[in-house]
Amino acid sequence: MAALGRASLLASRLASERLGGSLALPFAAFGIFSEVHPGEGNGSVMEGTRLGRRRNGILYFRTIVFSVALTAAVIWIRLFSNRTWANSPRPHFVDVAPRSGISYSTNNHFTGRKYFQQPMCGGVAILDFDNDGRMDIYLTNGARLPELRKENPSFYNCLLRNQGNGTFKDVTSEAGLTGSQLDFCYGVATGDFDNDGATDLFVCN
């Protein structure tokens, strides 16, 4: 029985490599039980007696029953979980950008000179700037290179107000957040730095 236990442990290793860890459990359990209670060849004084053979037979039978039950449980769990996943709804996404009203595009003034700033994408902040309970969007933008000037509106930063119906409205000029006086803008962070209950913006440029 000890040899059978070692064979079961070897089968457990092979099952883990080829079939997955869960199906290796029954083989491992059988091998461990057999190694802990090897039966024949264990040097027991009861070896060779009728009582010893009976005990070994009972242990062998229990180990087989346990291994079969564990195998059935593992197979049932795997089949049930696969069936549940097959019947569950799949994640689904819909492109709502065309009807969102967002027309913003980043302008990093790409040129063949490959300035350091060009691969830096603009930052984005999600905030409720008007305290209406809806999250708005603020995006930073680039500038003309190498002068680092926002010389026209295509370089302006952008504040998009959430309309509450899945669309956004550009209110950058109304809020005074075009950033026309800034140069090439990178990241942006939000927070109430003066504890007045209003959200403030920090723009890195």
96 vs 156: which has the higher pLDDT: 156
Range 87-113 burial, b when 16+ CB lie within 10 A, else e: eeeeeeeeeeeeeeebebeebbbeeee
pLDDT at 5 over 50: no
pLDDT at 1 over 60: no
pLDDT at 203 over 70: yes
17-48 pLDDT tens trace: 444 444 444 545 555 555 444 444 444 444 45
Q: Is residue 8 within 8 Å of 28, Cβ to Cβ?
A: yes
Q: Is residue 100 within 8 Å of 170, Cβ to Cβ?
A: no
Phi, psi of 87 (to 5 degrees): -90, -5
Residue 104 makes CB contacts below 8 A (sequence gap 6+) with 139, 158, 160, 170
Q: Mean pLDDT across the chain, nearest whole number?
A: 75
Tell me which H or E stretch contains 124. strand 124-127
Q: Quick one: which of 144, 126, 124 has its CA closest to 136?
A: 126
**Three-state DSSP state, 78:** helix
pLDDT for 138: 96
SS3 sequence of 129-194: CCCCCCCEEEECCCCECCCCECCCHHHCCEEEEECCCCCEEECHHHHCCCCCCCCCCCCEEEECCC
Q: What percent of the chain has pLDDT over 70?
A: 64
Q: Is residue 2 within 8 Å of 61, Cβ to Cβ?
A: no
Write the burial class of residue 41 (CB in 10 Å: 0-12 exposed, 13-18 middle, 19+ buried): exposed
Tokens of 188: 């942006």
- 188 - beta bridge partners? 203
pLDDT at 180 over 80: yes
Task: Report the alpha-carbon distance of residue 205 to residue 183 in Å, rounded.
Answer: 6
Span 121-148, mean pLDDT? 91
